[in-house]
Structure 1
Amino acid sequence: MIVEIRTYTCRVGSVPLFLEAYEKEGLPLQREYLGEPIGWFVSEVGSLNEVVHLWRFEDMADRETRRAAMQQDERWRTFLRSMAASNHLISQESSIYRPTSFSKMQ
């Protein structure tokens, strides 16, 4: 099992607008292809205007297969274009982690 941690940095004041658009359009599509996310979080202390979300996959091949299928969906490509046009995001970062042998999450 692996966990993908994605961090989006939004423009000041854009977090609520980004989350509203994502919840309506992006989340239903991602759930269709990627399953239920582990969680979504916003920063309160430290680096502000960040949105972090976590996704669970069986392995890198599972992640690649599911994300490739989503990328082929015209609805997802339309959503990405609308997000780019909205100019809410400054940057995106993605990290992949695997659990330790003693982790409760396997």
Structure 2
Amino acid sequence: MIVEQRTYTVKPGAVPAYLDLYVREAMEVQKKHLPRMVGYFSTDIGALNQIIHMWGYADLNERARCRAALYEDPAWQVVVKKLLEMIEVMETRILVPTAFSPIK
């Protein structure tokens, strides 16, 4: 298993609006295509105005297939434009569990 960690730095003060839009219009579309939401977070201490979400995949091939299907979905194409208006910086990391990780 791999975990994709996506960190979005949004415009100052935009975290509540981003999360509200995500829950109302984006979450179900995304969960339809991406197999396992590991977690969805916002920062409180440290670097502020960040949203971090993690998604689990069997491997990079599954990730590529799932993300391609997501981006082909017309509902996603509409909402992602709205979300992108609030994002200033996007970062993605692929995490590989250690042998002793509870997530394998």
* Aligned counterparts of 1:68 and 1:46: Cα–Cα separation in 2: 33
- 1:100 equivalent to 2:98? Answer yes
Equivalences, count: 104
Instruction: Indicate if the aligned counterparts of 2:36 and 2:57 stay in contact, CA closer than 8 A.
Output: no
> Corresponding residue for 2:79?
79
Task: Calculate the TM-score normalised by the size of structure 2.
Answer: 0.94
> Corresponding residue for 2:40?
40
Runs of 4+ in structure 1 over 3 Å off: none
Deviates more, 1:31-40 or 1:62-71: 31-40
- Which runs of no fewer than 5 residues in structure 2 stay unpaired? none
RMSD: 1.0
* Aligned counterparts of 1:7 and 1:33: Cα–Cα separation in 2: 19
Give the partner amino acid of 1:70. L
Percent sequence identity over matched residues? 35
- Which runs of no fewer than 5 residues in structure 1 stay unpaired? none
SS at the partner of 1:7? Answer: strand
Alignment of 1:60-75 (within 5 A): 60-75=60-75
Task: Calculate the TM-score normalised by the size of structure 1.
Answer: 0.93
* Aligned counterparts of 1:79 and 1:40: Cα–Cα separation in 2: 18
